[in-house]
Structure 1
């Protein structure tokens, strides 16, 4: 029995989903076909690659070792396929795009739709995380390109300005700040803030702005999703500082109120790529649609 690319692809999908059933659904294979491929791979390795935790499959040390090499092999094969397909004049292939939460939720969906309509034989897989998570995935070769809203501290990556953005301080419609719509540094310091987790670009920009203003502050609640923060602010649990593109609709309908502050909250949305990485025809086409530069 010899090792096949299909077995590696199935193994990688099981590892990423933690489920034989989910892997089969995403690869359009039956559960029995996925189970058989995994069984054959484990026969070749002579040791199990997963441990079962409840209903989820979790990689063991042997599986984690194999996963890194498997992903490197699959990524190399995908690049060869894209190069060969690009030479035929028919743009095709799969692109792995990363987006930090605000960008992925509010900007990328329409761009992905435009790209899909322009290039119907391509497929884009979008991975969402905070800025640090997405940057780490790109550096590890698990993404082709990434769009983030916070500073990048990874020296393996190159950051290029993509778009301008602005954070705004927001409060609920019934909050005392909602009447004056302006706050002092003392009020900012005393407020219960609801913010994203550490590693979030929005959180880092907010903290830098508060530090530059010399304001000590208290993070009362941390939520991993912008929608949860907006709901918490609207419910009166605290105030927040979020991207204008994320709260535009809530401001328009009066669910949230923008509050003027002495903070400097302008920021740059950034395109990240690996140093010396090759810009394929597929990636170049996607960046033209999204307004980026390869």
Structure 2
């Protein structure tokens, strides 16, 4: 049996896309080439790895068991390629960075642009998802590193504090809270909340903060993007809780109003990486940029913890 890396790459991509058409486009191969490689892999495997339903392909039990092993092999090969391809001078290659929504939309775009300006032969690709999706992407090797909001989920990853952030409670201009701009715990309990989906770091921080404060709450709307929450709150559909970074423009223009409360909504943004991974020159260069932008208080806090 001789399985090639290309066959594993095609297998992984078809599994991720659920079909040959999209996978071939991402791999820059013809559909026939992808189908032939997949058929040869299944021949070598001695049985199918997918269930066919029209044009859709679904992993069967053997395929599901093989997928994480294939991803691990591809991740290791990619690390070897990066190691061998490193230049002595400037970093070189492509770094795939994952970020949860607030970080990906409001912090990282400028940093990714600066990274490309600093290193002519380097490129950073940014993928945005919720915190849980980013962690799984780092764990599987699809992402080189991740930056997330909220609490870490996977013990297999190394997590490092990066920057501080805070959530703010916001309402529209016509909301009953707009005049006083403060809310008691009873008001928080009775409010119709508009929140992010489960798996979002912002959602998890909000839930944990409300639990610590002993405040039960009712969810009126669950939306998958911060921008949608802001628009819904502005339209008077309920009360929102989002990152100050994400809502500062609306606060400055008076489109949304900040409401104070006794609930502690501070949080720490985290860097997540695989444990014991080799740090390429490319990775070290980007981590250096992240270090430059870290909060001074966060650095002091971490050093104090190390000295204990």
TM-score w.r.t. length of structure 2:
0.86
Distance 1:279 1:204, change over 3 A: same
Q: Distance in 1 between matches of 2:253 and 2:51?
A: 50
Matched, 1:188 2:205: no
Give the aligned partner of residue 121 of structure 1.
121
| Structure 2 SS opposite 1:180 | coil
Cα deviation, residue 191, structure 1: 0.3
| Structure 1 SS opposite 2:33 | helix
Gaps of at least 5 residues in structure 2 are 295-308
| Structure 2 SS opposite 1:162 | strand
Distance 1:92 1:33, change over 3 A: farther
Give the aligned partner of residue 198 of structure 1.
198
Distance 1:289 1:101, change over 3 A: same
Deviations along 1:64-98, one digit per CA (max 9) or x if unpaired, are 22222211111111101111111454633333322
CA contact (8 A) 1:81 1:93 kept: no
Q: Distance in 2 between matches of 1:4 and 1:88?
A: 30
Deviations along 1:97-152, one digit per CA (max 9) or x if unpaired, are 22122212222222222223333434444343322332233334443211111121
Give the aligned partner of residue 237 of structure 1.
237
Cα deviation, residue 45, structure 1: 1.9
Matched, 1:145 2:112: no
Distance 1:58 1:7, change over 3 A: same
Gaps of at least 5 residues in structure 1 are none
Distance 1:180 1:123, change over 3 A: same
Q: CA RMSD in A?
A: 2.3
Cα deviation, residue 55, structure 1: 4.2
Cα deviation, residue 33, structure 1: 2.1
Cα deviation, residue 254, structure 1: 2.8
Q: Distance in 1 between matches of 2:153 and 2:39?
A: 41
Deviations along 1:270-294, one digit per CA (max 9) or x if unpaired, are 112233332221111111233379x
Matched, 1:216 2:216: yes
Give the aligned partner of residue 67 of structure 1.
67
Give the aligned partner of residue 167 of structure 2.
167
CA contact (8 A) 2:168 2:243 kept: yes
Give the aligned partner of residue 20 of structure 2.
20
Give the aligned partner of residue 78 of structure 1.
78
CA contact (8 A) 1:12 1:71 kept: yes
| Structure 1 SS opposite 2:178 | helix
Q: Tell me the number of residue pairs that the alignment of Structure 1 and Structure 2 aligns.
A: 293
TM-score w.r.t. length of structure 1:
0.90
